[in-house]
Chain A
Amino acid sequence: MTQAATTHRVWKLGADVDTDVLAPGHAMKHGIEKIATYCLESVRPEFASQVRPGDVIVAGPNFGIGSSREQAAAVLVKLGVAAVIAPSFSGLYFRNAFNVGLLLLTCPEADRLQEAEQVALDTKHLAVISGTGERLACEPIPDFLLDMARSGGLMNQLRIRFGKKATQ
């Protein structure tokens, strides 16, 4: 599978993007909708207003370091970000992301992707296909986590477990 129907626009960020720039402390008292308007304000002020559903973030190593606040992942879901692609993630952020239904792809060669490039995602075999057709392999993810992301997060799985209807 080298040709995918859907492509995703890349927002390229640097290394060590922390939870406090994804979901700033001053905004944390608000609901997710409002926190999302401040997402990345101190490093990419235009991000929250210009990101489009389906876009992806490509970042440097250690994405998501810092706090346990899952809003730092939930804001990206709220803004419609399809995935974050980086060479490494904070372990705590990694858990939170899948719990709220955000796909993270650990991609050692993420840096080869460029700002505004259109990429495709192979979520079955875990790879990113660059604008020039180059295939960048990503590290494996346990099936139960992929299922969690696909079903929209842990809350949806719990809804089913407790006999409620899942939402999207």
Chain B
Amino acid sequence: MKAAVPQTLAQKLIARAAGRPSVSPGDIVTCEVDLAMFHDSSGPRRLKPMLEELGAQIWDKSRVVLVMDHYVPERDDESRRIVRIARDWAREQDLPHVYDSQGICHVVVAQHGHIRPGMFCVGGDSHSPTGGAFGAYMFGIGSTEMLGVVVTGEIWLRVPQTLQMHWRGRLQKGVTAKDMMLHMIGRFGMNGGQYQAVEFAGPAVQALAMQERMTLSNMSAELGAQVGLIAPDEVTAAWLQAAGAPASELGDLSRWQSDESADMTRHEFDAGALSPFVAAPHSPANADVVGRYSGTPVDVAYIGACTGAKLDDLRAAAEVLRGQRVATGVRLMVAPASQKDQNAAREEGVLQVLLDAGAELFPTACGACAGYGETMGDNTTVISSTARNFKGRMGSASAQVYLASPYTVAASALRGVITDPREVLA
């Protein structure tokens, strides 16, 4: 039976979690949480002392996933302490789902089949909207709010409006989900999503591979949306099957889409007309077509993070760099998003292509994206496949960080200056 009032995908997901037939934008509801994900930085080091003080227990350990990705590998006493707390606590609590140094949480939880269409999930990290790529309502929260979830299994929510980003046509060769996002963030700004639900739709979105869809949802954070949803389809189901979530467990996927006549604000985009985009220092919203910045010399080309170092991202970089070497004086740093992706890239020969081009390989962790690991030095100009270029985020406050797709980062490494990857791929 259809709900009386047409619902958006966001409303349907919230209504299910709130145990209501339907919800309306503006309603404040309490939702039951299907999955709570946190990492070494936002998780145990903060949660453990608060839980002990309350004398409270985790509401359901099977619904909790802990990923060590921020302070690994440990580089100093402080990071050793933080990671030790996480490891000891995981053992003490006998947590069933722990991924230690396996990669970045947003990629790891998806690759191990924890996120499934229709779920309601929270993550202790701002890029948690990545889970929206699978048709799950997933958003980031802080540690105190995570504590509330961990002891009650519930969280409050104001039902959002939906902003649908409808992409018609098809992306040109060398243009990616990252370029779509930089374009949208440039147009709407970093708070343009106003903490509402963004939904990515249209033929160009449906044509994207799963990891490209994850890039869209991931950077919903930089749009200021609470979530970045994509209706699940056969691409989702096939990817989840390989991740250990067989179709037989997913139920009917067709119910997880917005009703035709649901009330939403729709923005239209032409994928075929989109050029590669670059965001200049120091904001992802400072975005323009790559041509605007072409010729800017770069010192470091960084391929890393949940946003920009998944298998598909590594493949894109390798496509540009195959049989070539990066320009003299340019440092190409590659930190794959997960062990799974790194292993797949090794088996396919993609990793070797990057190493032959002169890449230095870094651990499968958050690394320099969040200012950890080997960070960017004074006055360094960086082109990076990551999500944020806030002043000082990747290291020195005088570092100049440009954001771009893995294609553009690789093409810029090759030429030593910011370069439109279509010139290299042609």
The reply on B147 being an interface residue by CB < 8 A is yes
Would B141 and A68 count as touching, CB distance under 8 A?
yes
The reply on A26 being an interface residue by CB < 8 A is yes
Known A96-B144, A164-B53: A25·B126 in contact at CB below 8 Å: no
Would A62 and B191 count as touching, CB distance under 8 A?
yes
The reply on B42 being an interface residue by CB < 8 A is yes
Within 8 A of A (CB), among B206-242: 224, 226
Closest Cβ of chain B to A87, distance in Å, is: 10
Give the residue name and chain of the A residue nearest to B46 (CB): A70
The reply on B426 being an interface residue by CB < 8 A is no
A26-B399 Cα distance, complex, nearest whole Å: 15
Would B191 and A159 count as touching, CB distance under 8 A?
no
Would B371 and A61 count as touching, CB distance under 8 A?
no
Across-interface contacts of B148 in A (CB, < 8 A): 99, 154, 158
Across-interface contacts of B42 in A (CB, < 8 A): 68-69
Give the residue name and chain of the A residue nearest to B366 (CB): A25
Closest Cβ of chain A to B388, distance in Å, is: 7
Give the residue name and chain of the A residue nearest to B369 (CB): A25
A144-B28 Cα distance, complex, nearest whole Å: 11
Within 8 A of B (CB), among A18-74: 18, 20-21, 24-26, 28-30, 42, 61-62, 65-70, 73
Across-interface contacts of B390 in A (CB, < 8 A): 18, 20-21, 66
The reply on B71 being an interface residue by CB < 8 A is yes
A162-B150 Cα distance, complex, nearest whole Å: 14
A18-B156 Cα distance, complex, nearest whole Å: 24
Across-interface contacts of A67 in B (CB, < 8 A): 125-126, 370
Would B142 and A70 count as touching, CB distance under 8 A?
yes
Would A16 and B283 count as touching, CB distance under 8 A?
yes
Within 8 A of B (CB), among A142-168: 142, 144, 153-155, 158-159, 162, 164
The reply on B94 being an interface residue by CB < 8 A is no
The reply on A14 being an interface residue by CB < 8 A is no
The reply on B323 being an interface residue by CB < 8 A is no
Would B78 and A25 count as touching, CB distance under 8 A?
no
User: B82: which of A29, A73, A96 is its contact (CB, 8 Å)?
Assistant: A29
Within 8 A of A (CB), among B11-67: 28, 41-42, 50, 53-56
User: A70: which of B79, B123, B143, B391 is its contact (CB, 8 Å)?
Assistant: B143
The reply on B392 being an interface residue by CB < 8 A is yes
Would A16 and B144 count as touching, CB distance under 8 A?
no
Give the residue name and chain of the B residue nearest to A65 (CB): B190
Across-interface contacts of B79 in A (CB, < 8 A): 29
Across-interface contacts of A73 in B (CB, < 8 A): 142
Would A68 and B142 count as touching, CB distance under 8 A?
yes
Would A142 and B144 count as touching, CB distance under 8 A?
no
A69-B366 Cα distance, complex, nearest whole Å: 15
Closest Cβ of chain A to B338, distance in Å, is: 20
Closest Cβ of chain B to A167, distance in Å, is: 10
A30-B46 Cα distance, complex, nearest whole Å: 11
Report 22 cross-chain contacts, Cβ distance below 8 Å, ordered by A residue: A20-B388, A20-B392, A24-B371, A25-B372, A26-B371, A28-B41, A29-B79, A65-B191, A68-B128, A69-B41, A70-B144, A92-B126, A92-B141, A92-B195, A100-B142, A142-B28, A153-B144, A154-B147, A154-B148, A158-B148, A162-B55, A164-B55
Q: B residues bordering A, Cβ < 8 Å?
A: 28, 41-42, 50, 53-56, 71, 76, 78-79, 82, 123-126, 128, 139-145, 147-148, 151, 156, 189-191, 194-195, 224, 226, 283, 370-372, 388, 390-393, 397
The 5 A-B residue pairs whose C-beta atoms are closest, nearest first, are A91-B195, A25-B371, A70-B142, A96-B142, A29-B78
Q: A residues bordering B, Cβ < 8 Å?
A: 16, 18, 20-21, 24-26, 28-30, 42, 61-62, 65-70, 73, 88, 90-92, 94-96, 99-100, 142, 144, 153-155, 158-159, 162, 164
